[in-house]
Structure 1
Amino acid sequence: MTQHLLQGRQEKEILWFQRRDVLKAAAAWVALGGLPVAMAQQRSNIVQLAGDAMINGVPLSPQQSIQTGDAIQTGPGTNLIFVIGNASFQVRQNSRLSVERGATLNAVSLLRLLTGAVASVWGKGVDRSIVLPTLTAGIRGTGVYAEIFADRGDRNYFCNCYGTVDMGAGNEKRVSQADYHQAFWADANPNQDGKFLTPAGALNHSDEELEFLAGLVEQRTSWQLAGRKGSRDGGGSMTY
């Protein structure tokens, strides 16, 4: 288990992937053929729902499917894991987000996070973005973690766990290329150096969470492929 730095989160929120019911649900999801078979059999694309969540303003049940165009809200203590297309998502408690439609019903073009936090793994594709109040991230094939801190309304957090991300905050643009967790604070107003994007450490998420999500869409993280890891200082590089 990798060490992880928590800020405003509890340890049990980060260790959701160790729960027996989550492991059983993930094993069943993979054994039953993942999303293509779930769609063919008209089964739910929710891998696991623990706690209470709303979809488009009504209670969400594990038997339902989440589609592009839906608005999602999770309650206290809730953990929600689902798959759309070649992307997988883990939504933390007290979060609000929407997933907008891309070229097809089962392709997410935009994930808009309004409150809370979400980890996600995306297969290769184009014209897909994650939007936070202070940051826009154009993503390709990558794994990312995004969080809006309730006590920091003008500052959001974003980690490019691996892959390439085109980032924008205020009038600042940056391309993030990471093998192992390159993280940033995105501010609504520039700091004294005129920067909207400033370096951050790897907060409130673990390697194992990203590995779990990658497995749901038949992928492996960059560090799994390389067989090595780096420092979780948010710099983005592996140890060579």
Structure 2
Amino acid sequence: MTQHTLHGRSDDEILWFQRRSFLQAAASWSALGGISTAAAQGRSNIVELSGEALLNGRRRLPQQTVQTGDVIITGPQSKLVFVLGNSAFHVRQNSQLTVERGATLNVVSVLRLLQGAVVSVWGKGVQRQITTPTLTAGIRGTGAYTEIFDNQGGNSYFCNCYGTVDLSAGSDRVVSTSSYHQAFWGEVQAKSGRMLTPGKAINHSDEEVEYLARLVNQHTAWQIAGKKGMKDGKGYMQDLPGQSHPAEMLVH
């Protein structure tokens, strides 16, 4: 297993994909045909829920489906894994988010994170975003990890695990193209004049992104390449001279 760096999180949160309950649930989900079959049969699109989650202020009931437009809140020691359209999501404990409706009922246009953290894998599509109070990420098809750090004044962390993302915070704009974990901070207050600053790869692992991708019949960039890069937050497969983090090249 790949190593991961923790910042205010526990190993247990990061290693959720190793639990027998999830492995059984994921195997059942795939064997039953995934999201298309679940929708046709009227089955829930929730792959696994441990602990307690509220949907639109009410406790989630057996066989209830997460729909676009829903407000999701997870409690302590809870997690929620679900699939919507060609995208898969793992909502960590003590999180609050809204999945806003896109062109159809099963297309997420905006994942609006207000508290906590979420790992997500998105199939290809247009006009989709992840937003936090301090940054906006335009998604083209990627794996991502997003977290809000209340203990750092509400700074947002965003890792473009792979793919292309249009990132903005304040007046800063960056196109992030990543093969292997390109990480950013969306600052509450500017640092050296910048609202987008470089980050390290923290609080998520390759394997949990891979498991989410598997739920929607996708592969990560490193699985396709058959190799992994330097998990330093810069986003490259190879550490070559002259490579800089995009946030370091912002001009003010």
User: How does the TM-score come out when normalised to structure 2?
Assistant: 0.93
Contact (CA 8 Å) 1:157, 1:184: kept in 2 or not? yes
Alignment of 1:65 with 2:65, yes or no, is: yes
SS at structure 2 position matched to 1:196: strand
Give a deviation string over 1:39-77, Cα, whole Å, max 9, x none: 000000000000000000000134110000000000000
1:171-210, aligned counterparts within 5 Å? 171-192=171-192, 194-210=193-209
Q: Distance in 2 between matches of 1:31 and 1:97?
A: 29
Contact (CA 8 Å) 1:46, 1:62: kept in 2 or not? no
SS at structure 1 position matched to 2:176: strand
Contact (CA 8 Å) 2:148, 2:154: kept in 1 or not? no
1:115 maps to which residue?
115
User: How does the TM-score come out when normalised to structure 1?
Assistant: 0.98
SS at structure 1 position matched to 2:77: coil
User: Structure 2: which 5+ residue stretches go unaligned?
Assistant: 240-252
Identity of aligned residues (%): 63
Kindly report structure 1 stretches of 4+ aligned residues shifted beyond 4 Å: none
Q: 1:6 to 1:62 in 2, by over 3 A?
A: farther
Q: Distance in 2 between matches of 1:24 and 1:239?
A: 36
1:147 maps to which residue?
147
Give a deviation string over 1:15-58, Cα, whole Å, max 9, x none: 00000010000001011000000000000000000000000000
What is the root-mean-square deviation in Å for CA atoms of aligned residues?
0.9
Q: Distance in 1 between matches of 2:23 and 2:116?
A: 24
Q: Distance in 2 between matches of 1:64 and 1:8?
A: 31
Contact (CA 8 Å) 1:52, 1:59: kept in 2 or not? yes
1:157-172, aligned counterparts within 5 Å? 157-172=157-172
1:22-171, aligned counterparts within 5 Å? 22-171=22-171
SS at structure 1 position matched to 2:238: coil
Q: Distance in 1 between matches of 2:54 and 2:115?
A: 14
Give a deviation string over 1:190-220, Cα, whole Å, max 9, x none: 112x111111110000000000000000000
Q: Distance in 2 between matches of 1:187 and 1:154?
A: 8
State the AA in 1 paired with 2:54: M
1:12 maps to which residue?
12
Alignment of 1:226 with 2:225, yes or no, is: yes
Give a deviation string over 1:102-152, Cα, whole Å, max 9, x none: 000000000000000000000000000000010000001100000001212
Q: Distance in 2 between matches of 1:109 and 1:174?
A: 20
Contact (CA 8 Å) 2:56, 2:70: kept in 1 or not? yes
User: Structure 1: which 5+ residue stretches go unaligned?
Assistant: none
